[in-house]
Amino acid sequence: METITKASVIMSKDRYQKGLENLKKMNPESYQNLEEVLNGIAPDMARYIAEFPYGDIYSRPGLDLKTRELVTVASLTTLGSATAELKTHVHGALNVGCTPQEIVEVIIQMAVYAGFPAAINGLMAAKDVLEERGEEFEK
């Protein structure tokens, strides 16, 4: 039993490190802020976030970080209730090479599947991030 526990810890550290590497590329400040917020209530949650989505899923072959972030922006837009996470991933998308135009087009596309209110909310979140960063959007 102890061997399994040690193996789990080693694998967990590897997953965590991979996750941190991906987070550094995408949005390191966001993760640090999340880690600080969760530290007072659920410190393990920040580790779970680093390990599973960013260590396991974002590290898989087949899609680059740019594509993964565009898919994530689309998904969060369709939820319509994850504005903070959407803003974080708009930052992440820009940090890994997405253009403002690509992000806006992905969000507009979601009007077809999630409705206009979700797409408009997504566009407002993206607008906030673009303005915060001083990014220009070519109309």
Domain boundaries, the chain: 1-60, 64-134
Q: Residue 71 pLDDT > 50, yes or no?
A: yes
pLDDT digit string, tens, across residues 24-45? 888 878 888 888 889 889 989 9
Q: What local confidence, expressed as pLDDT, does residue 112 receive? A: 98
CATH top-level class for 64-134? Answer: mainly alpha
Would you list the DSSP string of 19-63?
A: HHHHHHHH-HHHHHHHHHHHHTT-HHHHHHHIIIIIIIITTSTTS
How many Cα neighbours within 13 Å face the side chain of 100?
17
